[in-house]
Structures are given as C-alpha cells and as structure tokens.
Amino acid sequence: MKIMRQIGGTCGYYAFINSLSVLFPEVQFSHKDVYLLLEKSLSMKLTHVGEMFDYPPTDFFEEHFEDRGLLIHLENRKIDNLIGDMELLEEEEAIIISIASGKKSSHWIGVVKVDGKLLTLNSMNRSPKKYNYKNLEKKHNKLENRVYNFKTYFKLSKKIRRIPERFFYNNVEKKRYKDKYSDMMLKLVRELEDATSKGIPEEIKIEYGSYYFLKKIAK
C-alpha cells in the first residue's frame, strides 16, 4: 500500500484522498483527484494556496465525491477521548486529523484500520506506518491557541525555489510525481503562491479540538 506524497501545502486534501484509497481499494486514485478537489475548494474560497487550517463543511466533501460515484459519510466530531475513538475504528472508517508540525504550523494525517491494526497515512511518507497514538494526541493538543503566520509559508516557498532546478525540480518533484496531473498540481500551487502572496491574511488561527470521521457507505 503506497501513499501519494503531497505537492505544496496541500496535506489536508492528500489526507482525504489517501484515506479514501484505503476505504475504496477498488478505485485507482491519483493526483488528479487532489487537483479536482483543490480546484473546487478554490472556487468556493475555502482555501488560499491549498492549506486547510480549519474544517471545510462536511457536505463539500460528501457532494464532491458523490459526483464521482463514491458514497461517504463525514462528520466533524469534537474530541473527548481521541485514543478511544481510534481504537473503535472499523475497517471502512477513517479519522482525518490535524496535528502540530514544528513550532508554528500544522499537518493533516489519516488514521485507518487495516487487518485489525491502526495505521497512519502521512503524505510526507511513502507508506502507512504504525504510530504512538498517545504522541499523536499530544501533537494535536499542541495546536491549542496556535496561529499560523503566512510569511513563514512564503519564505519557505521562495527558499525552495532558489534551489537549482537540476537538484530540486527534476530530481525530486518530477521523479516523485509522475503523471500529467502531478505537473498540473505543481503548476497550480506555484501560481497560487505568486497570486496570493501579497493579498493573503497575514495570520490564520488553526482550528483545534475536533477531527473528521469518515465512513464508506455501501451501495
């Protein structure tokens, strides 16, 4: 089981698609699915550069995937006992949750159960991994009162672009993401960064205290 690695600051959308790839193993997911989801999210002004620091409406995702023939149920659940909720997951269910990343940002991951074992789906990795779930809970709790400064994002983006193309774009981006839509994703993210770097809010509060519960609905 492989995980699609994210392009740009789009971990929330990749967390959804990677989780769906486990719930719907008969469906071949690709960067195209992330691209189309991001396009729709942009048209509804739910994101600036592909980030998800809050929780977009559940019906946005349900309707988007229903149009593709995938029936899902999605809830935004308040956290009371996160570890207990993860242990109660069934095979065709997932938890999609935001955790602290570094000292200033956040990162979305999926949690699924496969063959009775809990696995995390992290778009920074190539394959699912076991995780210390007490540590995951601690990482989520670090988001309390956290505010993201977009200046950090654009500084990092500019730093990455200064790396010579032969070292970064060709060797990393091109070889890691080999399909038409991966190139389109990269182009879209770069265009968004250029277009919004001056008009974007300087700070955005990162939502905390809940997660998405995702369930496959049998036809």
Q: What is the tens place of the pLDDT at every residue in 14-69?
A: 999 999 999 999 999 988 899 889 888 888 888 877 788 888 899 999 999 998 89
Structure tokens at 61: 């995702």
Q: CB–CB of 7/51 below 8 Å?
A: no
In this predicted structure, the answer to whether residue 171 has a pLDDT above a threshold of 80 is: no
pLDDT interval class at 158 (50, 70, 90): low
Please give the residue that has the higher pLDDT: either 128 or 201.
Answer: 128
Separation of alpha carbons 9 and 196, rounded Å: 14
pLDDT at residue number 165:
42
In this predicted structure, the answer to whether residue 141 has a pLDDT above a threshold of 90 is: yes
pLDDT at residue number 181:
65
**Mean of per-residue pLDDT scores for the chain:** 82
Q: Hey, which of 67-71, 177-181, 189-193 has the most confident mean pLDDT?
A: 67-71
Output the CA angle 158-163-168, nearest 5 degrees: 110
Please give the residue that has the higher pLDDT: either 17 or 5.
Answer: 17
- For 134-154, what is the mean pLDDT? 84
Nearest by Cα to 17 from 70, 59, 82: 70
**Four-way CATH pick for 11-147+206-216: 3.30.70.2190, 1.10.1520.10, 3.30.70.20, 3.90.70.10:** 3.90.70.10
Q: Could you say which DSSP state residue 169 is in?
A: I
In this predicted structure, the answer to whether residue 172 has a pLDDT above a threshold of 50 is: no
- For 168-178, what is the mean pLDDT? 44
Which residues are 113's β-sheet partners? 118
Burial class (CB in 10 A: 0-12, 13-18, 19+), 96: buried
- For 168-183, what is the mean pLDDT? 50
**Which residues in the chain belong to E strands, given as ranges?**
72-78, 93-101, 105-114, 117-121, 147-149, 203-205, 210-216
In this predicted structure, the answer to whether residue 174 has a pLDDT above a threshold of 80 is: no
pLDDT at residue number 95:
97
Which residue is associated with the tokens 């979305």? 108
- For 181-204, what is the mean pLDDT? 67
